Amino acid sequence: MKNQYDLLNGSSVEFEEYEEIELTASEKKRMKKRLKRDIKPARKKARPLIAAAVLLLAVTPVMMQNETV
């Protein structure tokens, strides 16, 4: 299979075929926000918390069964 970028090098785009659309300020802001969200996804903060909760639940019964010395 050929490299995707090598295939794109041979293509050309005619910009005259497309009409130019003026966007309002709110539409521009909404598009910019959507692109930022797609490019840089939000951090997943819940994963470490879930892992800590599972670890705590696994260790608690063992700690309660052990006798203190």
If one compares 44 and 53, the residue with the highest pLDDT of the two is: 53
Instruction: Give the pLDDT score at 42.
Output: 67
Unique residue bearing structure tokens 């996804």:
41
Instruction: Give the pLDDT score at 49.
Output: 85
Cα-Cα-Cα-Cα dihedral of 55, 57, 61, 62, to 10°?
Answer: 0
Enumerate helices (H) and strands (E) in the chain, giving the number of each: 3, 0
Instruction: Give the pLDDT score at 68.
Output: 67
Instruction: Give the pLDDT score at 32.
Output: 93
Instruction: Give the pLDDT score at 10.
Output: 79
Tell me: the pLDDT tens digits for 4-44? 888 888 788 888 888 999 999 999 999 999 988 888 766 77
